Structure 1
């Protein structure tokens, strides 16, 4: 297929280049008469299931591909945008800003195998070359070849162009693809959940960072200090200001793309004084992040319940603890601060909730997932505490069984009751929070799990109760009693765990 146009615009994520693409583009370019403009979309995304390869590696493979094929190429990163029917215009303008090239229907052919995207350019008057989508073509699409990489199927090497094979091998990218694409916990866009409002999450964590750091600072050992699930880096900022840690390496590990990018931005803006501050976008469950026996202190705040909730509960948490044990130096410490269930979480109790602080629909809704975030927040916040329990039972990712009794109380196990009471006010992130279980483990369960891994529990470890939450959020609208009607004290809600790897291991 020969064209006389000066440019061939080739939009796509371009994680992997195929031999078919090389042959096809050479025909389109008419033996070098046209320049291939590679519009690399989602260039600001990496380490996600949809975008496992970072842009700079994709660009390297494209440039090597161009040298080996003799194609004249220009590579332009296209940052991700919210879904829009003007994506073609955004791409064209980005190309112009980055290169000065004005792509028009008169001077450009668009090579695109995705019908929906190709349609956006066709509406602007561009002629489309359908690549793998052409009639009669049975070539493997790049994403299908990438899935072979993820599956450990070495036939990908025959389908991919040698430029991709070379870059993948030199930088160990097959292992990255397998880890990210096959990750059972992380979502397509590099987070645990698609429904979380990261703005409110970051604000809440920043507000609590000083309290969390103050509670654990005395147990921190200098050296290599790693904060897993570091959020936007608020705790590491406090560690950075601690003069006694100025010679330590401060390392943040965060799986959520939004939060990781905020960490990188802070570092670029000079927020950290310590030159040895590093950030990784990784999921520890997907493989080792740091070498064995290389970390002096590991910090985890409000993280382990997420691993429990989005993974395979105890099995995932046990694997996580083993990873930490492996990378901890003998004598090193893991400091974990998180929510914790009551010690007798399976015990039945009678829970009394007010029904006078909001509306009381005849039945809970089953369609909240179809609403916008603002609509969900408005609806749930308007419910009474009692009605909110009914809604929680529908939306909670873990089974909740309770019995409404004639005296107005609810007979319910202690654990699910506290899961509801500690979560009922999180209306801004309702569908995200109801996917998480706070009371899956009690303190005794933690003692058992850590011993199984090989950690020794420091005497400083202890369950605690957040009295502010009890006094201000729970007690005003709820009360608990045993099955004989005797009032019960509110249980522990959190735990601070200081686990040490023995020196002789």
Structure 2
């Protein structure tokens, strides 16, 4: 059926990390009536037709899917369209999980964000889109669609490069990206350091495309655990914190910084929270807007400190890391990455400044062969190990939670080595009794209760470094280790997690083995002299 009404709005949804020359030329041709829709009917636009750029995932930044912050994308579009005198409106659309009504969400967001001055009536609106699944969603709502890149081929018959393809070229160091991008884009990117930012994000081997360490982590329970532990951890590190510039690396949702901000002794300090996980930084920013932090001088940064400088050299008085360094070792290149992290912390620490680290640690004499005897009557005993990779997270949690402790060891022996990359050798010498090293025994015992995030936790190694290894690592990086430092045993874990279901004996003599240290606190200072 022919369409008699003139088009007043061109809805152009997308992440819009950059604008290409082709896109601008195409939009001009579309407004001039030179483009047909996907049904082959010519699109006739009114002389004052406006392009509505719907910037999706506008609240995401610092990930491979969304390396450019939403506000920069909005500003770039405004800049390009002003240069081109292309009538436009820019509307940010927050990210949502994949949903059948996403197209409806976009159109409603546009109408709401513009105070309903823009009504995207399908009779007067055409959607510009080149993604088949998205095209189908808008067509179901009754919108006509023009295919943008799908509508054209170059002299070789190739489809013009989409913006995401151009971002990929930039990230790969291909200088031809500037030939495809609109001429106003390279200067804009240089002005705000976006080229380097994109290259850094794409080069990060640790973070997933969505800006997380792992796709199997439930960040609600993960964040809640950090919040619950913040006060206890703060009491542990509080005596050693120096006022000035204080940085919490691995800040999660900012629970520890809430307590730092409320400390009268530190009221004139500047507080920085750094975390690699987008979900956690977003929640910390949300808390800041709600006025949660008593000190207004609080900033949050999503970054991986291993991939580049986060704070200037010799600028930080106190760095705090809580339950972070084992993740660096687990998700990076092992202990060498912890060593590299230590050197970066030293570099940004002022002479006389301090790095306070609290984390799990491996037992002394970790290679000692032991027998670990576990209860096998406190849950189910399937008899076979289950491949959990394709299971939904709640189903994994329910399955693991229902296993007996010995059966959980059997599952752990399957999941831990393949996910963590660690060597893990275990032999069940008697039903429920396992021969392994003391280090491997503690890997299991300190992980076994994390059913909610089982596959994620099996990716992590808790025992890569013992007390002596920490001492050598920190002094080797250039720190002086304070007398407050040392390994310690979490007695709550012994009483509530280890002793009720497990016992340790020496594999050779049969003698009882005391539960070893489980945690370490290090207070490392950068020397004032010769620093």
TM-score range, shorter chain: over 0.9
Helix, strand or coil at the partner of 1:199:
helix
Helix, strand or coil at the partner of 1:35:
strand
Q: Which runs of 5+ in 2 are unaligned?
A: 34-46
Task: Establish whether residue 200 from structure 1 lines up as the match of residue 217 from structure 2.
Answer: no
Match of 1:5 in 2: 7
1:310-364 Cα distance to aligned partner (Å, 9 max, x none): 1111222122111111100011110000000112222221110110000011111
Residue 408 of structure 1, CA deviation:
4.2
Task: Establish whether residue 293 from structure 1 lines up as the match of residue 304 from structure 2.
Answer: no
Helix, strand or coil at the partner of 2:317:
strand
Q: Which of 121-130 and 387-396 deviates more? A: 121-130
TM-score of the superposed pair, with normalisation by structure 1: 0.97
Counterpart contact for 2:474–2:524, Cα < 8 Å: yes
Counterpart contact for 2:326–2:460, Cα < 8 Å: yes
Helix, strand or coil at the partner of 2:436:
strand
Helix, strand or coil at the partner of 1:279:
strand
Match of 2:143 in 1: 126
Report matched runs for 1:287-326 at 5 Å.
Answer: 287-326=308-347
Match of 1:112 in 2: 129
Report matched runs for 1:484-503 at 5 Å.
Answer: 484-503=509-528
Match of 2:36 in 1: none
CA distance in 1 between counterparts of 2:59 and 2:479 reads 39
Residue 498 of structure 1, CA deviation:
0.8
Report matched runs for 1:32-431 at 5 Å.
Answer: 33-99=48-114, 100=116, 101-134=118-151, 136=153, 137-366=158-387, 368-396=388-416, 397=419, 398-406=422-430, 408-431=432-455
CA distance in 1 between counterparts of 2:266 and 2:108 reads 47
Q: Which runs of 5+ in 1 are unaligned?
A: none
CA distance in 1 between counterparts of 2:145 and 2:336 reads 50
Alignment match of 2:481 (pick from 446, 457, 461): 457
Helix, strand or coil at the partner of 2:65:
coil
Counterpart contact for 2:16–2:55, Cα < 8 Å: yes
Residue 407 of structure 1, CA deviation:
6.2
CA distance in 2 between counterparts of 1:439 and 1:242 reads 33
Counterpart contact for 2:406–2:432, Cα < 8 Å: no
CA distance in 2 between counterparts of 1:404 and 1:289 reads 47
CA distance in 1 between counterparts of 2:105 and 2:399 reads 36
Runs of 4 or more above 6 Å deviation: none
Residue 154 of structure 1, CA deviation:
2.0
CA distance in 1 between counterparts of 2:480 and 2:82 reads 57
CA 1:406–1:147: 2 relative to 1, 3 Å: same
For this pair of structures, how many residues does the alignment match?
A: 503
CA distance in 2 between counterparts of 1:408 and 1:77 reads 57
Counterpart contact for 1:404–1:410, Cα < 8 Å: yes
Counterpart contact for 1:337–1:494, Cα < 8 Å: yes
Q: Which of 470-479 and 190-199 deviates more? A: 190-199
1:157-178 Cα distance to aligned partner (Å, 9 max, x none): 1211123222211101111101
Residue 273 of structure 1, CA deviation:
2.1
Counterpart contact for 1:195–1:431, Cα < 8 Å: yes
